[in-house]
Structure 1
């Protein structure tokens, strides 16, 4: 596909340490991709950071807003009480065709709520019952997990739509024809799992997707599927458990390497290998997670994101636009 320049909105008030990582990440993205980057937020906080960067030849715009959504804000309240927030304004730019995608490291619940409502954000794609956040697991097989925490309570038809959206996302973003879709359960056998799992399994089996059946977490990790479907409660616990185990293993290996001179020498020799694994497992390489099911491209990153993660989130957003993921979901639901 020919390279094309885009207009990407970044919520400059999103990250925990805003606006510095958000602004610096925007500058790095503009420099690498050549796109127009639009920063939404308080110009009095954004401009001093922006003035410290080398923006020569870069198209970076600031859209001033009088309000910002905090991580502690209740989504149900701020969706209506903060109509001039950096989130609302950014989403409206996409809705009105003034930007191609929206990226934020901010309050996930508020972004989801605002994006779902057509009156204040993008609205749902026609036919979508529940938009969902999916995430590419940063491991060798790079499976796509959906839902990653958006919908804690689900109905079987929600999981069916998660499978459809996840399959289309992987097909477009990873170039995998007819991706393998599995349903996370406590056993591979067809009758295993809760009533939700059993009913969703029946729907997925009759969906026309390349459904391989129930999978346990070990199959997910070792590459048995390209898309793993679950409710948001399960997905969020799975993701957080994986992050905690990875952190524990990293710290334990470091402790053992430093335990004596022999292991220290071995650790030095293995340092390049450890560096490769560390990069592969680093969630900042992915940058953010797509919100699928809304009528526009939205990427949501972690509040602790660095400038590098913000840049990588922009990479994800522009690839979703290039590969027409939203359009594919619209078409896929009508088949």
Structure 2
């Protein structure tokens, strides 16, 4: 195992260092060859870092910045105020070659804007796509892109997403000939936008892609495909709908301590017994375990964590970045795309 350096925005997200640093500790424990350049406010961050084992502290290079960006600021305002902020310094460290990848839970639009501005796109890629692994009911995962980087995507972009998703699934899911589908409002050939219909016809002609056709939103968790391609608007809505439904159902099954009435407790326990098998499947699609979306199409690994991530969820985002760096995802996508466009 070779040494790996990751840049981390410890101020990013709703909770900052009290979540990101304990999550970092889990990652350092799991990955003995990991070193981290951490950017944040020393007054808020160092008390948490000093609680870590000395061996872990020695693998953290902390860079103080008093400036962080409110995750809810409009994009242009956030971009203007970004100089010297923890999120910008994190991305700059990757652009300057000091780190092989980065993780932040900060402003999504700002992270994507800065990454596209500071880190080179791969050849033959017009725009990066926010990409994640979504769980399915049989315990396996599906690659889904775009999840919000591009609100609109024409057929050329959708084709590029399909190509990148195909390579990503081969490496991250160890699939030999990944199945690919386009997210649409129906499976009929005449359904969807003109860009979807054009992409559908073009994908059918490509022998190196295992294109399956259209897939509807109610089948996303059924593992009928290995790669789901869509524009960022549709993908973001679909993903957040799945996450919200899963969290609400898990909460329903777990919420027993707040029920004071004995009868209600008994009814809830009975439901857990009856639907135990389905409850176990819901645990497999717990969004915390699949936190982290990468900007696929950049020459380095950039991972966005949910702003509201807890310690375990942010740890999974760090692991997601590490896995992509170790698998040399940007380089392999570049090699795979060479000559296709």
Q: Distance in 2 between matches of 1:319 and 1:10?
A: 15
Which runs of structure 2 are paired with 1:9-88 in the superposition (5 Å)? Answer: 9-34=7-32, 35-58=34-57, 59-88=59-88
SS of residue matched to 2:295: strand
Q: Distance in 2 between matches of 1:244 and 1:82?
A: 31
SS of residue matched to 2:135: coil
Q: Distance in 2 between matches of 1:110 and 1:9?
A: 17
Q: Distance in 1 between matches of 2:163 and 2:299?
A: 16
Q: Distance in 2 between matches of 1:82 and 1:250?
A: 37
- RMSD between superposed Cα atoms in Å: 2.4
Q: Distance in 2 between matches of 1:242 and 1:25?
A: 24
- Corresponding residue for residue 289 of structure 1: 293
CA contact under 8 A between 1:148 and 1:235: conserved in structure 2? yes
SS of residue matched to 2:294: strand
For residues 230-270 of structure 1, the C-alpha deviation after alignment (integer angstroms, 9 at most, x for no partner) is: 11111111112222322343455568997557645535657
CA contact under 8 A between 2:135 and 2:221: conserved in structure 1? no
CA contact under 8 A between 1:157 and 1:203: conserved in structure 2? no
CA contact under 8 A between 1:23 and 1:39: conserved in structure 2? no
Task: Decide whether aligned partners of structure 1 residues 253 and 86 sit closer, same or farther in structure 2, where only a CA change above 3 A counts.
Answer: closer
Q: Distance in 1 between matches of 2:127 and 2:244?
A: 28
Question: What residue ranges of structure 1 are gaps of 5+ in the alignment?
Answer: none
- Corresponding residue for residue 209 of structure 1: 209
CA contact under 8 A between 1:25 and 1:307: conserved in structure 2? yes
- Corresponding residue for residue 235 of structure 1: 235
- Corresponding residue for residue 306 of structure 2: 302
Task: Decide whether aligned partners of structure 1 residues 20 and 260 sit closer, same or farther in structure 2, where only a CA change above 3 A counts.
Answer: closer
1:92 is displaced (CA, Å) by 1.8
SS of residue matched to 1:39: strand
In the superposition, the TM-score normalised over structure 2's length comes to 0.89
CA contact under 8 A between 1:147 and 1:229: conserved in structure 2? yes
1:170 is displaced (CA, Å) by 1.1
Which runs of structure 2 are paired with 1:123-142 in the superposition (5 Å)? Answer: 123-139=120-136, 140-142=139-141
Q: Distance in 1 between matches of 2:89 and 2:72?
A: 20
- Which segment drifts farther, 226-235 or 191-200? 191-200
Question: What residue ranges of structure 2 are gaps of 5+ in the alignment?
Answer: none
Q: Distance in 2 between matches of 1:32 and 1:240?
A: 29
Residue-pair matches, total: 330
In the superposition, the TM-score normalised over structure 1's length comes to 0.90
Task: Decide whether aligned partners of structure 1 residues 306 and 249 sit closer, same or farther in structure 2, where only a CA change above 3 A counts.
Answer: closer
For residues 269-294 of structure 1, the C-alpha deviation after alignment (integer angstroms, 9 at most, x for no partner) is: 57975764343122121231111011
